[in-house]
Structure 1
Amino acid sequence: MNTRETVRQLLSFQPVPSLPIIEWATWWKDSTARWLDEGMPPYENNVELMRYFGLDLLVQEWFYPRNGRCPRPAAHGVGIVRDEQHYAELIAQRALYDETILAVPNFTRYKSEIDAGNAAHWFTLEGFFWFPRTLLGIERHLLAFYDEPAFIHRINRDLVDFYKKLLPWLFDQCQPDFMTFAEDMSYNHGSMISEPQFDEFMLPYYRELVDYIKQRGTKVLIDSDGDVSECLPWFERAGIEGVLPLERQAGVDVAAIRQRHPSLLMVGAFNKMVMHRGEKAIREEFERLLPVARQGGFIISVDHQTPPAVSLDDYRLYLRLFREYAQLL
């Protein structure tokens, strides 16, 4: 069974001979800089680094609703748009929702491997919490649920209309195995917004897209850091089929999630904070996850980017043990 068949089988709760060895979030730049100093050869891109480590290939496209004409935030967490007039000006300048920039360079570059099944592929759309926050900034966005609700709806209406044009074009080019809505709407104590706010400001827009994506054979997942446990029933009502990265440091327990949400797909969950603590700690983490993996619908991977505390030798040890446990389904 090749990589693509394995991923698709797992995401359909079908049996597979072994788990794929994948990195959905790849690596921090500080981590790879360390590894280069420790003897890893230079590499061109993340797919080439996957080859170097002998990982199963996973090719991603990320579709940005903004382009190079859009102003950059002055600092992390600071917004881009000043007000609704400025927002309208950016649209008129084609800095936002520019259909002319559509392309799938990664999918095209690795098309032969995807078609042969030697690589799985997925795409990401910026979601209905993520993108308004990008435009407004973290603090203003949270206040805008109360102070500027019509503006949030306007942004999300424009965003879903943009995606309704993008998705038919995309599915004419290819059929990705899964996709994620980037949201990051949780932190280590739960959701940043309430369920009524989700229902008002996000749910209607998800419902306009999710069924269409699923009908094209692509699994639909949410990407949110932090403890997503509270939000999972909300996502399920939107038709979302799965979630990643399931961060252990936020207290996420995949066994408890599987018990409460038996049909939910999961990707990630391996605690990145144990990867530099030696063989015993790494084995204990795989043994925590393996019983859930044996039930299907769960692809083990690091629960976010591998941190720079992990040496090149640490990472190689992690992969050696991963390959061992991947055969124990």
Structure 2
Amino acid sequence: MNTRERFQAVLNFEKPDRLPVIEWAPWWHLTLENWRKQGLPAGFDTVGLQEHFGLDLMVQSWVRPTNARTPEVPHGSPLVRDLAEYEQLRASRAVHDLDAVDFEPFERYREQHERGDAVFWFTLDGFFWFPRNLFGIENHLYAFYDQPELMKRLNQDQLEFNLKVLDCIFDRYEPEFMSFAEDMSYNHGSMISEELFDEFLLPYYREIIPVLRKHNVKVFLDSDGDITGSVSWFERAGIDGIFPLERQAGVDVARLRREHPKFLLLGGYDKMVMDKGEEAIEREFARLLPTARQSGFLVSCDHQTPPAVTLDDYALYLKAFREFAAEACR
């Protein structure tokens, strides 16, 4: 099987010849700085690193509503505080400018994708993520109560932008899956209630997901933290799966599979054991094996590889991963 066939088999709960050996997230820059001191050649981009390590290629295009005209503010700080400031941002074409969108990673690897040697996936800002980036972290959580109509206006505009982006994508490419960036959970669960989800996010998901279904694209939600209690919300919205399934936040993939047997999983491998030696690395893969054998589970490091992991540690991890990928399909 080629790379695309393996992914499609797992995404359809079928059995491939082996599991894909992947990294869904770019490596942490601090990790790469350490690895270069340990002998990693410089100059690789994310896909180049995948090729260097012999991974199955995942090529991502993240289509953001912001662009080069968007003012820079410290992480978590507000870009807008009210409708007037938002309208000013829109008028300056600093958000939702379709002319600023490009799919350079897809263009660069189109040939590999057509051969079956790479999968394409794209990311759109979701309906928790987009207003949070505009309001800032704290103001966003107040805005559900203090500025509900503006919240809905933001998400209606984001929906319309995302639908236009889908037209551009599906005119040119056939991605295997996509994700909505949300990050709406932390290590004790969701940052909003189910009632807020139903009012402020669900209506927009129910409009866009049928469009994705028409193109046979599997839909993932990207949220860090403990997403266990909110998976049923995402299922009601029509979402097919979730990542990164962070072990440190208490996410248990076996429990998720028992409670949501047709929900796709991506990630799940506890990044905190990767520097603990060969036995610990293999033990973590053994923990995931029963769930992986059921298919519908793209195993990967649950988030960016920590800087404590050396190149030698990572070589041990990849060796164990390749053995696990074969064992899961026997």
* Equivalent residue number for residue 185 of structure 1: 184
SS at structure 2 position matched to 1:327: helix
Measured after TM superposition, the shift of residue 102 of structure 1 is 2.2
Kindly provide the CA deviation profile for residues 191-243 of structure 1, in whole angstroms up to 9, marking residues without a partner as x: 00000000000000000101110210110000000000111000000000000
Distance 1:168 1:99 in 2: 11
Distance 2:21 2:213 in 1: 25
Aligned partner letter, 2:235: E
Segments of 5+ residues of structure 2 without an aligned counterpart are none
Measured after TM superposition, the shift of residue 90 of structure 1 is 1.1
SS at structure 2 position matched to 1:30: helix
SS at structure 1 position matched to 2:192: coil
Kindly provide the CA deviation profile for residues 96-152 of structure 1, in whole angstroms up to 9, marking residues without a partner as x: 100112211000000000000000110000000011000000000001111111111
* Equivalent residue number for residue 46 of structure 1: 46
- Taking structure 2 as the reference length, what is the TM-score of the superposition? 0.98
Distance 2:81 2:186 in 1: 26
* Equivalent residue number for residue 33 of structure 1: 33
* Equivalent residue number for residue 95 of structure 2: 96
Aligned partner letter, 1:224: S
Kindly provide the CA deviation profile for residues 2-47 of structure 1, in whole angstroms up to 9, marking residues without a partner as x: 0111011100001111111100012100001100000011133111
What is the correspondence of 1:309-328 to structure 2 with a 5 Å cutoff?
309-328=308-327
SS at structure 1 position matched to 2:327: coil
What is the correspondence of 1:38-117 to structure 2 with a 5 Å cutoff?
38-73=38-73, 75-117=74-116
Distance 1:121 1:157 in 2: 27
Measured after TM superposition, the shift of residue 289 of structure 1 is 0.3
* Equivalent residue number for residue 293 of structure 1: 292
* Runs of 4+ in structure 1 over 3 Å off: none
SS at structure 2 position matched to 1:259: helix
Q: Is the 8 A contact 1:43 1:49 kept in 2?
A: no
Distance 2:75 2:310 in 1: 28
Segments of 5+ residues of structure 1 without an aligned counterpart are none
Aligned partner letter, 2:104: P
Distance 2:141 2:170 in 1: 34
SS at structure 1 position matched to 2:239: coil
Measured after TM superposition, the shift of residue 82 of structure 1 is 3.2
Distance 2:115 2:219 in 1: 23
* Equivalent residue number for residue 12 of structure 2: 12
Aligned partner letter, 1:176: P
Measured after TM superposition, the shift of residue 79 of structure 1 is 1.4
Measured after TM superposition, the shift of residue 83 of structure 1 is 2.0
* Equivalent residue number for residue 272 of structure 1: 271
Aligned partner letter, 2:6: T
Measured after TM superposition, the shift of residue 168 of structure 1 is 1.2
* Equivalent residue number for residue 220 of structure 1: 219
Distance 1:25 1:232 in 2: 21
* Equivalent residue number for residue 245 of structure 1: 244
Distance 1:164 1:218 in 2: 14
Distance 2:168 2:59 in 1: 19
Kindly provide the CA deviation profile for residues 38-92 of structure 1, in whole angstroms up to 9, marking residues without a partner as x: 001113311111111111110000001011111111x221111132111101111
Name which of structure 1's ranges 38-47 and 123-132 shifts more when overlaid on structure 2: 38-47
* Equivalent residue number for residue 142 of structure 2: 143
Pair 1:130 & 2:132 matched: no
Distance 1:314 1:299 in 2: 21
* Equivalent residue number for residue 22 of structure 2: 22
Measured after TM superposition, the shift of residue 169 of structure 1 is 1.6
Distance 2:253 2:232 in 1: 15
Distance 2:35 2:269 in 1: 21
Kindly provide the CA deviation profile for residues 267-305 of structure 1, in whole angstroms up to 9, marking residues without a partner as x: 000000000000111111000001100001001000001
- Percent of aligned pairs sharing the same letter: 54
Aligned partner letter, 2:27: W
Q: Is the 8 A contact 1:180 1:223 kept in 2?
A: yes
Distance 2:300 2:271 in 1: 9
Aligned partner letter, 2:150: F
Between Structure 1 and Structure 2, how many residues are aligned?
328
Aligned partner letter, 2:25: A
Q: Is the 8 A contact 1:121 1:177 kept in 2?
A: yes
Distance 1:195 1:312 in 2: 42
Distance 1:191 1:98 in 2: 31
